[in-house]
């Protein structure tokens, strides 16, 4: 029992360190990718090839003056970025990043925990992240921040419905909501092939759920200055950025798990295959940011309710009918 607890603690520490390191170098990678799209060099001054730029950014954030608006609700204002970051870290805990490892005569699952309803757990936990954005916008006593928080809540409600239905077909095909079982159900073929429509809907809604361009309306610098985090500085601002990038990793890992066979792949080690699939999705996030303009807010909402949701409902019904008739 004690050994199991120690193993879980060690895995949790490794995962937190990995996610925070990945966040740091995702910011570097995104700046380099955007620079290449825009025909400029990007970060290249701090360290070889600019590889120490994340360290410099971290030091800069830590040394910046912490400013709290005089009229802000102090406790909620301080709690909001922490909620976003903690929820982002918790959501990734259920995603398996490889098959069980065998060490010292024990089988160690390469995930923090494996609930029977792993998909539902991730959706439930990740949906709590919006509380950080809404509370951050409300507690700042700034109208632009408040509008950003309200936009975020409306956007999450609109696109989570389509996202949930987009993966319903996968759950029907696998016959389980356990992520490990879903990966094993893809031994012979990946679910992206029979569920291509669901996969495309998931990718679109995942971008909207993480408030990334072209769905970055809660921030919308040209309209809301910076949206929900207008009044945040220093490490509190950095925590919102950490939560955004870790959420990107989570939805990418979930996409790889549900539709692309998780760690399955030939020749290479399973963990490496998982990283490659996640990396492809992360590149798509960056590519879209460099390519597409921001949507108008009414069109964003209409697209979620009038286009994605009906298609997701029809796709789920078609999958259920196919499975029922093929038995």
State how far the alpha carbon of 315 is from the alpha carbons of 164, 306, 310, in Å. 12, 15, 9
Residue 1 confidence (pLDDT) above 70: no
User: Looking at residue 227, what DSSP letter applies?
Assistant: G
Half-sphere exposure of residue 86, counting CA atoms within 13 Å on the CB side? 8
For residues 21 and 10, what is the distance between their CA atoms, to the nearest angstrom?
A: 16
| Residue corresponding to tokens 């991730």 | 122
Domain range annotation of the chain: 2-325
Q: What is the pLDDT of residues 3-59, one digit of tens each?
A: 778 888 888 899 999 999 999 999 999 999 999 999 999 999 998 999 999 999 999
CB 250 within 8 A of CB 92: yes
Q: Following CA atoms 213, 215, 219, 224 in sequence, which dihedral angle do they give, to the nearest 10 degrees?
A: 110
For residues 32 and 127, what is the distance between their CA atoms, to the nearest angstrom?
A: 30
Q: Residue 206 is encoded by which pair of tokens?
A: 């995942």
pLDDT at 23: 94
| Residue corresponding to tokens 């970055």 | 216
Look at phi and psi of residue 321 and say left if phi exceeds 0, alpha if psi is from -120 to 50, else beta: alpha
Average pLDDT score over the chain: 90
- 108 phi and psi angles, rounded to 5 deg: -110, 110
Task: Give 3-state DSSP helix, strand, coil % of the chain, rounded to 5.
Answer: 70, 0, 30
Residue 60 confidence (pLDDT) above 70: yes
Q: What is the pLDDT of residues 274-285, one digit of tens each?
A: 999 999 999 999
Q: What is the pLDDT of residues 196-250, one digit of tens each?
A: 999 999 999 999 989 888 888 888 777 877 888 889 988 998 999 999 999 999 9
Q: Residue 125 is encoded by which pair of tokens?
A: 């936990």
For residues 315 and 195, what is the distance between their CA atoms, to the nearest angstrom?
A: 8
- 67 phi and psi angles, rounded to 5 deg: -115, 130
CB 208 within 8 A of CB 216: no
pTM of the model: 0.94
């Amino acid at each position: 029992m004690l050994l199991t607890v120690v193993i879980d603690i060690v895995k949790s520490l490794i995962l937190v360190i990995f996610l925070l390191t990945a966040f740091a170098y995702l910011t570097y990678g995104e700046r380099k990718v955007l620079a290449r799209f825009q025909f400029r060099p990007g970060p290249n001054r701090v360290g070889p090839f600019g590889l120490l730029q994340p360290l410099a950014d971290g030091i800069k954030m830590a040394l910046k003056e912490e400013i709290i608006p005089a009229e802000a609700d102090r406790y909620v204002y301080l709690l909001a970025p922490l909620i976003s970051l903690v929820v982002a870290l918790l959501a990734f805990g259920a995603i398996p990043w490889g098959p069980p490892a065998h060490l010292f005569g024990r089988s160690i699952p390469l995930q923090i925990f494996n609930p029977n309803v792993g998909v539902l757990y991730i959706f439930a936990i990740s949906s709590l992240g919006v509380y950080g954005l809404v509370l951050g916008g409300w507690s700042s006593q700034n109208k632009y921040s408040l509008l950003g928080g309200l936009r975020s809540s409306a956007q999450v409600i609109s696109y989570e419905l389509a996202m949930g239905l987009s993966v319903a077909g996968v759950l029907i095909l696998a016959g389980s909501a356990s992520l490990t079982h879903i990966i094993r159900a893809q031994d012979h073929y990946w679910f992206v092939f029979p569920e291509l429509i669901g996969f495309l809907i998931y990718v679109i809604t995942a971008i909207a759920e993480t408030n990334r361009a072209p769905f970055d309306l809660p921030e919308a610098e040209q309209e809301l200055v910076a949206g929900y985090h207008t009044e945040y500085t220093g490490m509190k601002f950095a925590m919102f950025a950490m939560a955004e990038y870790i959420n990107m990793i989570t939805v990418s890992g979930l996409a790889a798990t549900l539709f692309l066979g998780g760690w399955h792949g030939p020749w290479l080690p399973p963990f490496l295959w998982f990283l490659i699939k996640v990396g492809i999705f992360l590149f798509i996030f960056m590519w879209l940011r460099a390519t597409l303009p921001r949507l108008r807010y009414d069109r964003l909402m209409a697209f979620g309710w009038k286009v994605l949701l009906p298609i997701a409902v029809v796709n789920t019904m078609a999958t259920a009918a196919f499975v029922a008739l093929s038995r």
